[in-house]
Amino acid sequence: MRPDGPAEPGKIRKALWITSQFSEEIEADFQRYYGLDFLEFYRPGRNLGWRKLLVLVDKLPPESAVNTAIRMQVSEDEMVRAKPDPARAPWSTVEMLLALLIDEMRNLSWMYATAKTGKALPRPEPVQRPGLRRRSGRVISLDAARRLDPRLRNVPDEEAQETLDRITGRG
């Protein structure tokens, strides 16, 4: 027992699991982020023990090979059911930002082309993110659009729907 309280249970089990499942990823990450040789853990008389191993693994950045491999074990259905947490997503923050940048560039190109041609072009689909299902159907209902946009209030349903589809790029 440590002076500040009992040891946290399961740490050695966690260390055994992570080293048996992700040894290559740990080796690559330790070399990349810490300049350490993971094989030092297995050499007798070295300073890399179970506690230090877990501390180093726990402090690896989200885009590390270990964290990515762990995240990739989660199925799409489990991710959809779970609360979205960027730290547990299969993509790192950098990859999510890159997908967002691609989406914004597509939207800018779409707006430019729509403005220059004067035609109602279909809005580009966003990059599919892991754990998120594609949206289908309308972006907003016709009733909700009428409450928000006074131009649609006294217009027949078909004409209002065409206008809404044109506005949202679905037409």
pLDDT in tens, 124-154: 988 887 656 555 554 678 888 888 888 888 8
Higher pLDDT, 140 or 60: 60
For the segment 62-91, the average pLDDT, to the nearest whole number, is 70
Higher pLDDT, 74 or 154: 154
pLDDT at 1: 40
What's the number of CA atoms in the CB half-sphere (13 Å) around residue 11? 13
How does DSSP assign 100-135, residue by residue?
Answer: HHHHHHHHHHHHHHHHHH-S-PPPPPPPPPTT-PPP
Residue 93's pLDDT is 72
3-state secondary structure of 7: coil
Residues 6+ apart with CB under 8 A from 104: none
Q: Which one has a higher pLDDT value, 171 or 21?
A: 21
Closest CA to 66 of 99, 98, 19, 34: 19
Euclidean distance between the first and the last CA atom of the chain, given in angstroms as a whole number = 68
Of 15-24, 37-46, 69-78, the range with the lowest mean pLDDT is 69-78
- Quick check: helix, strand or coil at residue 91? coil
Average pLDDT, the chain: 79
- Give the model's pLDDT for residue 113: 92
43 band by pLDDT with thresholds 50, 70 and 90: confident
pLDDT at 7 over 80: no
- At residue 171, the pLDDT reads 57
